[in-house]
């Protein structure tokens, strides 16, 4: 299992690959707001653990294993954003809050949160009802 920090890297490399087809050290450093030397160290570890390969002139490419993990991490991130949005969390908090909690929930919790998201998405009036409660509580 990747550590939380490895998860952050795999997730960002997955996003970069989706956007550009590859990921360079400088792109990863920028996306994660870390120093390029930290990126170099981590990609060596991810390479050793068979999550990615380094290709000269192209940059880093996720292996099949890395892609599979990356897909799950991006799904989890998007699900949690959707969840916080549905429950009425202010937009400016959503990204940072998801980054803070995503590595610390079991897949069991993620699946149950997925049920809640589906429950609300199945019927728009449920979201409206929750919004009303939210507004009343704030008065």
Binding residue ranges for Mn(2+): 8, 11, 77, 99, 102-103
Q: What is the dihedral of CA 100, 103, 106, 112, to 10 degrees?
A: 50
Pick from 67, 68, 72, 77: which binds Mn ion (CB under 5 A)? 77
Comparing CB distances to Mn ion, the nearer of 67 and 77 is 77
Nearest approach in angstroms of CB 80 to Mn ion is 8
Q: Residue ranges of the alpha helices (H) in 3-139?
A: 4-20, 25-32, 36-48, 64-86, 91-101, 107-121, 124-138
Between 8 and 120, CB nearer to Mn ion:
8
| Distance of alpha carbon 87 from alpha carbon 13, whole angstroms | 29
Q: Cβ 13 to Mn ion, closest distance in Å?
A: 12
Asked if 72 is part of the footprint of Mn ion (rule: CB under 5 A), the reply reads: no
Choose the stretch contacting Mn ion; rule: CB under 5 A; options: 27-35, 38-46, 72-80, 114-122.
72-80
What residues form DSSP beta bridges with 60?
A: 23, 54
Pair of tokens at residue 4: 């939380």
Name the site residues for Mn ion (rule: CB under 5 A).
77
């Amino acid at each position: 299992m990747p550590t939380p920090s490895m998860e952050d890297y795999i997730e960002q490399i997955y996003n970069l690959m989706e956007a550009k087809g590859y990921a360079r050290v400088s792109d990863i450093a920028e996306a994660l707001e870390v120093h390029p030397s930290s990126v170099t160290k981590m990609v060596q570890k991810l390479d050793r653990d068979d999550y990615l390969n380094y290709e000269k002139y192209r940059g880093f490419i996720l292996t099949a294993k890395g892609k599979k993990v990356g897909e799950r991490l991006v799904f989890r991130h998007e699900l949690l954003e959707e969840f916080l949005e549905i429950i009425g969390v202010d937009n400016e908090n959503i990204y940072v809050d998801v980054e803070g909690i995503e590595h610390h929930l079991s897949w069991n919790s993620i699946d149950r949160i997925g049920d809640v998201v589906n429950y609300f998405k199945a019927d728009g009036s449920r979201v409206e009802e929750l919004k009303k409660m939210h507004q009343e509580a704030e008065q």
